[in-house]
Amino acid sequence: MGRVTELLTSEADPVERDLLRKAAGGNLFAFDEIVRRYQKRVYAVALRIVRRHDVADDVAQDTFLRAWRALASFDLGRPFGPWICRIAANLAVNHVRSPRAREEGLPEGHDEQAAPSGDALEGVLDAEAQRVLDRALLALPAEQRAVFVLRVNEELSYKEIAESLELSIGTVMSRLSRAREKLREALLPYLGASAVRAEGGES
């Protein structure tokens, strides 16, 4: 519920609204504070999609640069988090699609731990299962991975994801369903039958 609470309260945060208003007017100190507030979240979104620390760092920096340039068009009546995460997710997906990403592959010794969802995937606790989950997430198409990350890790609604990635809600639901099915198949040896059944349901 932490992310949900943040999304519900950020819209009413007068301090943040004031910072955004000042930043939109060119105040770099105000924007630095916005960066400080959101840099970990933006980095995490990028990392879960690109799966490389160095690339995630580049994506995060590019995200804030683009946000700075587009801040004048941001609606101060809306929460900032989903907007900035949309930019990060789109840039991350674009990187994964790029020829450069296919050439780079994974860094040697890559063992990045993927954050499990709040449902049956939380039952995947041992190290080997975590590695299987990580590989399964990496094997997902970038578009499915982005939807999964925004839904499971960022706890965005279907509507918010659709707006963030400029998709229809039906496409979001379809991509999320396919992503969960692929992850379920990969994790089947580590999940009990009841957990697998539970993971098939949508909250």
State whether 86 and 168 are in the same domain.
no
Contacts of 180-187 spanning 24+ positions with Cβ under 8 A: 180/148, 182/136, 182/139, 182/140, 182/144, 183/121, 183/133, 183/136, 183/137, 183/140, 183/148, 186/132, 186/133, 186/135, 186/136, 186/139, 187/121, 187/124, 187/129, 187/132, 187/133, 187/136
Rounded Cα distance, 76 and 62, in Å = 22
> Residue 129: which of 186, 177, 185 has the closest Cα?
186
State whether 80 and 3 are in the same domain.
yes
Q: What range defines the domain where residue 57 resides?
A: 1-104
State whether 199 and 120 are in the same domain.
yes
Last residue of a domain, one of 50, 77, 104: 104
Provide the pLDDT for residue 200: 43
Provide the pLDDT for residue 46: 92
134-146 confidence digits (pLDDT tens)? 788 888 888 888 8
Provide the pLDDT for residue 69: 92
Which CATH number fits the domain that encloses residue 92?
1.10.1740.10
8 Å CB contact between 187 and 200: no
State whether 127 and 148 are in the same domain.
yes
Provide the pLDDT for residue 111: 42
Provide the pLDDT for residue 90: 87
State whether 100 and 57 are in the same domain.
yes
Which CATH number fits the domain that encloses residue 174?
1.10.10.10
Other Cβ atoms closer than 10 A to 2: 7
pTM check: above 0.75: no
Provide the pLDDT for residue 64: 96
Last residue of a domain, one of 75, 104, 133: 104
Q: How many domains does the chain contain in total?
A: 2
Provide the pLDDT for residue 104: 53
State whether 100 and 6 are in the same domain.
yes
Per DSSP, helices labelled H in 51-114 are 53-70, 80-97, 99-104
State whether 4 and 99 are in the same domain.
yes
Residues in the chain, pLDDT under 50: 1-10, 102, 106-118, 120-125, 193-203
Last residue of a domain, one of 36, 71, 104: 104
153-176 confidence digits (pLDDT tens)? 888 889 888 887 888 999 999 999
Contacts of 4-13 spanning 24+ positions with Cβ under 8 A: 4/155, 6/81, 7/79, 7/81, 7/82, 7/155, 7/156, 10/79, 10/80, 10/81, 11/77, 11/78, 11/79
